[in-house]
Amino acid sequence: MAVVVVIGAQWGDEGKGKVVDLLASRAQVVARYQGGSNAGHTIVNDLGEFRLHLIPSGILTPGVTCVIGNGVVVDPTVLLGELHDLQKRGVDTSNLRISDRAHVVLPYHIA
């Protein structure tokens, strides 16, 4: 089984989300392993324009399991907002998995 890893070497904003979106149709799993909701990527497809900050862009590809790993800092408000937006636009989010070791950031953690 081949593994493809997309990483950035330019402090963000390299277009990783768009590359992952292009590769997702050939993947079974798309995992995000670090970072927080300060990151973001915009994907445009037949359902419209999506701005994602926590959920991997593979969620837009039917049948792909998406994982938010233990190195990701999860803001529950951002996560629930993304899930709501995806679901109301017809995206199946049932293949999203979140590590029970992912870090949670709450409002009192933010300066």
User: Which residues are known to be catalytic?
Assistant: 13, 41
User: Alpha-carbon distance 13 to 26, whole Å?
Assistant: 23
Query: Residue 56: how many CA atoms within 13 Å on its side-chain side?
Result: 30
How many whole angstroms from its chain centre is CA 52? Answer: 6
User: Alpha-carbon distance 52 to 35, whole Å?
Assistant: 13
Write the Ramachandran bin of 20: left for phi over 0, alpha for psi from -120 to 50, otherwise beta.
Answer: alpha
